[in-house]
Amino acid sequence: MNGAVLSTAQRIGTQALSWLHDSAHFGALPATTVDFADPDNAYKPLGETALATSLVLREGVGRPAELQRSRELLDQAWAQLRHGDFLFERQLRHPMVTDPVETYAHFVRGGHRHAGLDRIAEHLSALASTRAVEMMPNRRLGVANAHRVIGSGRPRNWAELAADTWLGASPEPWMIDWMTGYNMTHTVFHLTDWAADPDGLPQPLAAYLQTWLPVWADVWQEVAQWDLLGELLIVDACLPEPVCDPRIWERLSQVQHPSGLLPRDAEPVTDDPRQAFKDHEHTAVVAVIASTLTLSRALGGTWSAT
């Protein structure tokens, strides 16, 4: 990957982070009551912002201003969640749900701790019941990785967890669809803890992705699925060596707005900034992560010489 491509990747991530930072007030939790039973309320974007910023801080390859913005966003989100009390209370009310622990892991990665959540996470991870909660296999990997990050989990059989996923089945690569594409990406994210441990991806899965990832990236680029394309670029950064066509970065750069907003797809972008944040916040998070991990691997990873 040459310097021009890395420069493009860096610019995309910097601008996306800037847009997230400037738009953060649209993602604040309501000042009144929050529905603890609804995991998809405003609290989900806070978790996604925490994920992206925690990775920027973990990798440390951003400029000082970006690290500063990431720290601010992460700390603001933590404050929004009342320094973890929100997650703690939601977990108390719903012991079988997993999103509090999954969200908490991002903040732990960013340097925050909540003693009550730590104790509960340790307890829950030891229960056969919570380990057997029925969910998508890639999500089960997500929960396992959250416990790994928190340090609360018992050792897991990662190979077994991986084998249960779509990706682990050596599937026909021509059967993948949009939703399966997202599931596949998350399998890779959690097995490698977001590129921190590329060896966490079993070798047969890495070899499979090295052959087929460029095809999927090509197809979803053609139909302007920028959000999924960004996720595929994160997968690329989790592989032993990148395999995707570097021209994809230029393509993303072309569709990114001057404000830093990266559209999730080819649909028109609303003029309403609140709705635009709701629609495209996830894509900005994806862009920040893809940019950060690609730069980090290039600068210090095994493929820095290419």
Partner 1 sequence: MSVYDATPEEEISQAAERMAVRALAVLEAVEGTDAPRPDPVGASKPDLAAARVIGADLFAPYQLAAVPLCAELEEAVALAQAFQLFSAPDPSGSGADGSTAASAVAWRDWAAAELLDRCAPDPERVVPMPDRHLVPEDDFHWQEWSGWMAQLAPLALPGLDSPVHEAAQRHARALARGTVRSMLRRDYRTAARTARWLALGHSHGVHSPVDLAPLLRHIRLFGGPSARTALDLRVGERLSQEEGL
Answer for which of 39, 116, 202, 214 binds partner 1 (CB under 8 A) is: 214
**Should residue 306 be labelled a site residue for partner 1 when binding is judged by CB under 8 A?**
no
Residues 144, 131 contacting (CB under 8 angstroms): no
Shortest Å, Cβ 262 to partner 1: 23
Q: In sequence order, which residues have a C-beta less than 8 Å from that of residue 32 and are 6 or more positions away?
A: none
For residue 89, give the 3-state DSSP assignment.
helix
Report the distance separating Cα 81 and Cα 50, nearest Å. 11
Give residues 138-177 in contact with partner 1 (rule: CB under 8 A): 172-174, 176
Size of the site for partner 1 (CB under 8 A): 13
The single residue among 40, 134, 222, 271 that binds partner 1, judged by CB under 8 A, is: 222
Q: Is 204 in the site for partner 1 (CB under 8 A)?
A: no
Distance CA 45, CA 28 (A): 9
Q: For residues 272 and 269, what is the distance between their CA atoms, to the nearest angstrom?
A: 9
Cβ distance to partner 1 smaller for residue 176 or 295: 176
Helix, strand, coil % (nearest 5) of the chain? 70, 0, 30
Residue 89, both tokens: 């209370």
Q: Of the candidates 158, 166, 182, 212, which one interacts with partner 1 according to CB under 8 A?
A: 212
Question: Judged by CB under 8 A, which of 136, 219, 224, 255 binds partner 1?
Answer: 219
Question: At closest approach, how far in Å is the CB of 82 from partner 1?
Answer: 45
Q: Give the chain's radius of gyration (CA, Å).
A: 19
Q: How far is the CB of 263 from partner 1 (least distance, A)?
A: 22
Residue 246 binds to partner 1 (criterion: CB under 8 A):
no
**Which residues in this chain contact partner 1 in the complex, by CB under 8 A?**
172-174, 176, 211-212, 214-216, 218-219, 222, 245
